[in-house]
């Protein structure tokens, strides 16, 4: 089986969660901070739009007992960036891209099964936000500096349709 990779995806092996996360898999599942969570028989995935959110989630996972990395490869968790792949080596995870350009992650040793994605996600839908779906917003960086970022526009619903954005706007 495989899980969806969209934006920044933090992927964990269920076996590692049960073994290392304080309270096991159920505690991890109940602490997930958003609705992008999905799982198959071996892996679970949580997605984030910003790298700072990924860092915060990884800190929480480490404080609960997971080992994120050993300095050059992912250990109990892996971070996969849509379109870019793994930032470090991860021997237990493989990546694939389907005919729609959607990226999926699975265990290196498992049989191919139907993929797992959040319940609201639809195959063939846009896997990235269209630029018209973003609005500019000023935010303070971690260093306290003001910066401009692009965030999803809640009034724009075009990215939620089944038809990929490149077929609608190009």
Among residues 33, 29, 42, 34, which one has the least CA distance to residue 2? 42
Whose tokens are 């694939």? That residue is: 96
Rounded Cα distance between 4 and 26, Å, is 20
Per-residue pLDDT of the chain (170 residues; tens, 9 = 90+): 689 998 899 999 999 999 999 999 999 999 999 989 999 989 999 999 888 899 999 999 999 999 999 988 999 999 999 888 898 899 999 998 887 788 899 987 766 666 777 776 766 554 443 444 444 455 555 666 555 444 444 444 443 444 443 344 33
- Rounded to two decimals, the pTM is 0.70
Rounded Cα distance between 137 and 62, Å, is 31
88 CB-near residues (< 8 Å, 6+ apart): 69, 72, 73, 74, 78
Among residues 121, 150, 142, 161, which one has the least CA distance to residue 52? 142
Q: What number of other Cβ atoms are within 10 A of residue 38's Cβ? A: 19
């Amino acid at each position: 089986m495989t899980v969806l990779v969209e934006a920044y995806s933090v992927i964990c092996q269920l076996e590692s969660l049960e073994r290392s996360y304080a309270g096991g898999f159920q505690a991890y599942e109940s602490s997930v901070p958003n609705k992008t969570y999905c799982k198959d028989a071996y892996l679970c995935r949580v997605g984030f739009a910003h790298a700072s959110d990924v860092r915060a989630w990884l800190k929480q996972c480490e404080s609960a007992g997971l080992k994120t990395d050993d300095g050059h490869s992912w250990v109990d968790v892996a971070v996969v960036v849509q379109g870019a792949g793994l930032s470090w080596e991860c021997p237990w995870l493989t990546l694939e891209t389907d005919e729609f350009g959607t990226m999926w992650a699975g265990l290196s040793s498992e049989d191919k099964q139907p993929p797992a994605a959040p319940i609201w996600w639809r195959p063939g839908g846009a896997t990235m936000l269209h630029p018209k779906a973003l609005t500019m917003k000023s935010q303070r960086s971690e260093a306290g500096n003001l910066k401009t970022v692009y965030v999803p526009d809640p009034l724009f619903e075009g990215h939620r349709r089944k038809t990929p954005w490149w077929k609608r706007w190009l």
